[in-house]
Chains A and B, each alone.
Chain A
Amino acid sequence: MAVDKNMNILIVDDYKTMLRIIRNLLRQLGFVNIEEATDGSMALQMLRAGNFGLIISDWNMEPMTGLQLLREVRSDPKLKSTPFIMVTAESKTENVIAAKEAGVSNYIVKPFNAETLQGKMVSVLGEF
């Protein structure tokens, strides 16, 4: 099934410049409905109120981190199957293992390029 480029995507990062970068890269990949949150708790409220087809989240944020957000998403019956890509500078083995154990769909290490973002999105959503 083809990926719906009109689906809502939520990007979460406490650093506004990074939100701009990801939003622009997503637009260039043809995705137009992009919303932004600056920490996990704000993201969780938006996710519960809306209908999102993909979450792209940073890890290191306050008060709720990306990992905590992931755990909340996976334990919420309405949200648990939403694809979740972690985009972070945390690149230690234990980070990747912890994210996998919490149910992350894929993991991107910063700095990243458009090709990597597209590749991980394809692996999570299918070809587009």
Chain B
Amino acid sequence: MAATIDRDLDQQLSSLRQQRGDMVRIEDVGEVVRSLLTTLSGEVSTADLKLYQEVEALSDYIHKAKAELAQLRPDDIQARYIASATDELDAIVGATENATNIILDTAEGLQELSSELTPEQAQRLTNATTQIFEACNFQDITGQRITKVVRALKHIEERIESLIAVFGPEMAARSSHAPGTPESAEEEVVQPTDEDLLNGPQLPEKAHDQAAIDALFDNG
């Protein structure tokens, strides 16, 4: 009997390996366990049955966890939120850098005027521009801090990528059909709420300039 079971199990496992390699779906594992339990029916002790029940419960638990993870829509977090957050942070660095350079241009321009002033006035101007130069230090520090945050976000993104890879395309398929995804949103045409409309400043490459706004306004 035991030899027959071993042979059947071997066949089933070989067939699975041929079909799926080393990545086996939880459903297939469950199928093997069920088939094993059926084969063993009447041949197993109470302790064995208890063990099989535990295995089955574990399988159910994994199924449930998988479904819950799919509901979190990790692919969406990765594609939409993290990508957007890093772009926004890059835009902050770019905008503050531009502003800092304009401030420095202006301070340097003021400093050049000192030769036209009395020594006392020139000293006062120098003191003021020194303070401007000192204050512009902030740009380097904020830039470095933001770079650290971007690095942390990229690390999270990589982890999510690994999670998606482990759970397979099945998770992406489930999450893409979850309510609120673009496809389902297209099906039911819903008026955007105030909250939907509040997106904050747009990234420079996506933003309309005033001329485009005027054109939209005039054509509307």
Instruction: Find out whether the CB atom of B111 lies under 8 angstroms from the CB atom of A24.
Output: yes
Instruction: Find out whether the CB atom of B140 lies under 8 angstroms from the CB atom of A24.
Output: no
A14 to chain B, nearest CB (A): 10
Interface residue from A15, A24, A113 paired with B143 (Cβ < 8 Å): A15
What 1/0 flags go to B118-138 for Cβ under 8 Å of A? 000000001001100110111
Interface residue from A17, A24, A89 paired with B107 (Cβ < 8 Å): A24
Interface residue from B129, B130, B138 paired with A111 (Cβ < 8 Å): B138
Counting from the closest, the 4 A-B pairs by CB-CB distance are A111-B137, A113-B134, A18-B140, A24-B133
- Complex CA distance for A114 and B129, rounded to whole angstroms: 11
Question: Chain A contacts of B144 at CB under 8 A?
Answer: 60, 89
B133 to chain A, nearest CB (A): 5
- Complex CA distance for A89 and B137, rounded to whole angstroms: 11
B111 to chain A, nearest CB (A): 7
Instruction: Find out whether the CB atom of B134 lies under 8 angstroms from the CB atom of A17.
Output: no
Question: Chain B contacts of A15 at CB under 8 A?
Answer: 140, 143
Q: Across the two chains, which residue of chain A brings its CB closest to B147?
A: A60
Q: Across the two chains, which residue of chain B brings its CB closest to A58?
A: B140
CB of A20 within 8 Å of the partner chain: yes
- Complex CA distance for A60 and B141, rounded to whole angstroms: 12
A90 to chain B, nearest CB (A): 10
Question: Chain B contacts of A60 at CB under 8 A?
Answer: 144
Q: How many of B's residues come within 8 Å of A, CB to CB? A: 20
Question: Chain B contacts of A24 at CB under 8 A?
Answer: 104, 107-108, 111, 129, 133
CB of A25 within 8 Å of the partner chain: yes
Q: List 15 A-B contacts (CB under 8 A).
A: A15-B143, A17-B100, A17-B104, A18-B137, A20-B104, A21-B137, A24-B107, A24-B111, A24-B129, A25-B134, A28-B133, A60-B144, A110-B141, A112-B137, A114-B130
Question: Chain A contacts of B126 at CB under 8 A?
Answer: 28
Instruction: Find out whether the CB atom of A21 lies under 8 angstroms from the CB atom of B141.
Output: no
CB of B59 within 8 Å of the partner chain: no
Answer whether A17 and B129 are a contact pair too, CB < 8 Å, given A24-B108, A24-B111, A113-B134.
no
CB of B90 within 8 Å of the partner chain: no
CB of B139 within 8 Å of the partner chain: yes
Question: Chain B contacts of A111 at CB under 8 A?
Answer: 134, 137-138, 140-141
- Complex CA distance for A17 and B139, rounded to whole angstroms: 8
What 1/0 flags go to B86-128 for Cβ under 8 Å of A? 0000000000010011001001100100000000000000100
